Amino acid sequence: MKKIFTKKVIIPVMLGVVFLTTSAFKNDFFEIAKQIEIFTTLFKELNMNYVDETNPGALMDTAIKSMLADLDPYTNFMNEQDVEAARINNTGDYTGIGARIKTMEDKLVVIEPYKDYPADQAGLKPGDEIIKIGNTVVANYKDHAGDLLKGTSDSSVEVTYLRQGKTHTATIKRAEVDIKAVPHFSMVNDKTGYIVLTRFNNKAYVETNYALRDLKAQGATKIILDLRGNPGGLLNEAIKIVNLFVPKGQLVVTTKSKVKKYNRSYITQNQPIDTEIPLVVLIDGASASASEIVSGALQDLDRAVIVGARSFGKGLVQRPKQLTYGTQVKITISRYYTPSGRCIQSLDYWNRNEKGEAVRVKQENYHEFKTKNGRKVFDGGGVLPDVALGATKNPTITKAIQDNDLIFNYAVDYYYNHKIEDINSFTLTDKDFSNFKSYLKTNDFSFETETEKALKKAFETSKKEALNDNIKKEYDDLINQLNISKNTVIDENKTYLLELLTEDIVKCYVYREGLYNYYKVHDTEIKKASEILSNSSSYQSYLR
C-alpha cells in the first residue's frame, strides 16, 4: 500500500511540473488556434455571403500584408515570383536577356543593359520602352510582364520597343546571366587597389577574395573597399569577408533573439589573407545590413578607416520559412550586435508615434561603446564614419525626384542630345543644372510635403466651420511660401542632384563598368580614401 501511495503522489507532482513548464506554450498555442479559427470562419462567411463577387486571393493578400505591416518592413510574405527573385538575388544566376528592367503599367523600361549580355548585343539602351514581347502586348498582360523575357538558354524572344518616340524591334537570344557581387576591381594608383562590392550573394566572399589576391599580385599595398549602395544580403558572406582582413577566431557579430537557437556568436573560421594591409571602407546612406556588419566590425576592431556618410541603420536579421504552394515568409528573427556590443538599428518599429510610423532613434538616446583601441563609437544610428563626407541631401525632395524617374529620364535625353568624346573628362556645369530645373518644370514635377498636407487638412476643417473666408489669404500666402521654399531646397541639394545625374549619364555612355573608372578620377570619397592611405601616420591616427 505504501508503494502505491508513493506512486500516486509522485505522478501528479511530475505532471504538475510538466504543466508549469509548458503552460506558457499551451496558452500561446490556444490563443493562436483560437484566432486562426475566428479568421477562417470570417473568411469563409465573407466569400460565401458578400453582396458582390469577391476575389479570395486578393482578400487574403490584403489580410496578410495588413497583418505584417504592424511589424517591420523586412518581415514579408513571398509569393512564388518573390521566392524566385530572392533566389536570383542570393545566387546572382538566372536565364534571361541580361538587363535591369523597371515594370510599369503599360510597358517595361530598360534601366540598365548589362555589358556584352543579350540585351546589349541586340542593341537595347537605357530608356528603351518595351511595349510588346512576342505577340503579347505588355499593356494587356495581367501578370508580371518581365517574366516573359525569361526562358531557357539559347531560346529567342522578339521585343518591340519605343526609343525617343520611334518604334523598333529586336530579336534577343536569351543566355545565362551572372550578376557579380564584385563587378569591378582595379588599381587606383601604383600602390592602392580598389574593390567594389555591390551585394552579399553567395559569391561575395569568393569574388572579394579573388579581387584582393589579384590586386596584391599587381602590387597593391593598400585597399579601398567600396560598400556604397550595397543593401546587404547573406550574413555568412559578410563574416567571411571580414575574415579576409582579421585573424581566425575573432568575434565579428552576435545575434540575439527571443528564440534561443537563434542566439549565436559568429567567429572567423579561416586564415586571413592580410591582417596588416591598410584598409579604407566606403559607406553611404544606402549601405545596409551585411554592409553594416562588415564596416561596423572592421571599425570596432580598428582594422579599417570608415569614410563617407552614415549608413542606413538596419540591425535586424531575417530568415525565410517555407510555406505551402511554393510560398515563403521572411521573418525578422533577431537583432545583431557588432564586436563592441552595439546594435546600429536606426528605426524603432516597436514603439511607433501617434501616426503609427516607426521613429528614428534620437541622437541623445545613442549609447557609447568602445572599439578595440578605445575609440568611441555609438549605436542607434547606423555606422557613423570616421571621416564624414557626402553631399547635402533632403530625402523628401530627392526621393520625390527619383521616384518620378526624372533623374533617369533626363540622363537618357542628355545621352541622345550630346556627344562626349572623353567620358573621364565629363562634368556637369551650372548651365546643366539650370537646364535640369527647367526640365523639372516642363515635366510638371511637384510633390506634396507633410506641411502642405497638414495645412490643407486644416483649411478643409475651416470650411466646415465656416472660417475659411477669414483665413483664405493667409493660407494662400503660406502655400506660395512653401513652393518658393521647395525651389530653394532643390538649389540646396544641387551637388547631390548633380552627382545622381552624372552617374546615370555616364552609365548611358560607358555602362556600369565605365562608371567605376570614372569614379576613380572624380569621386570625392575615393580621393579622400587615397589621401588617407598615402600617409601612414595619418591613417594610423584615425585608428588611435
Q: What is the C-alpha to C-alpha distance for residues 59 and 61, in angstroms, rounded to an integer?
A: 5
Tell me whether residue 289 is one of the annotated catalytic residues: yes
By C-alpha distance, which of 519, 537, 534, 441 is closest to 196?
A: 519
Q: Which of 300, 379, 504, 523 is catalytic?
A: 300
Q: Is 292 within 8 Å of 310 (Cβ atoms)?
A: no
Q: What is the C-alpha to C-alpha distance for residues 164 and 460, in angstroms, rounded to an integer?
A: 43
Q: Which residues pair with 137 in a beta bridge?
A: 132
Q: Which of 314, 330, 393, 520 is catalytic?
A: 314
Q: Is 281 within 8 Å of 384 (Cβ atoms)?
A: no
Q: What is the C-alpha to C-alpha distance for residues 61 and 82, in angstroms, rounded to an integer?
A: 13
What angle, 0 to 180 degrees and rounded to 10, lies between the N-to-C axes of helices 2-49 and 56-69? 120
Q: What is the C-alpha to C-alpha distance for residues 323 and 79, in angstroms, rounded to an integer?
A: 10
H/E stretch holding 169 reads: strand 166-173
Tell me whether residue 300 is one of the annotated catalytic residues: yes
HSE toward the beta carbon, residue 129, CA cutoff 13 A:
15
Q: Kindly report the three-state secondary structure assignment for every residue of 294-307.
A: HHHHHHHCCCCEEE
Q: Which of 125, 222, 289, 334 is catalytic?
A: 289
Tell me whether residue 314 is one of the annotated catalytic residues: yes
DSSP state of 425: G
Write down the residue that cell numbers 582594422 correspond to: 303
Per-position DSSP letters for 109-124, written without gaps between them = EEEEEPTTSHHHHTT-
Which ranges in 331-467 belong to alpha helices (H)?
A: 395-403, 406-417, 430-442, 450-464
DSSP state of 257: -
Q: For residue 340, what is its C-alpha cell?
A: 563592441
* Contacts for 197 with CB less than 8 Å, ≥ 6 apart: 181, 182, 204, 207, 208, 225, 226, 227, 230, 241
As annotated, the active-site residues are: 289, 300, 314
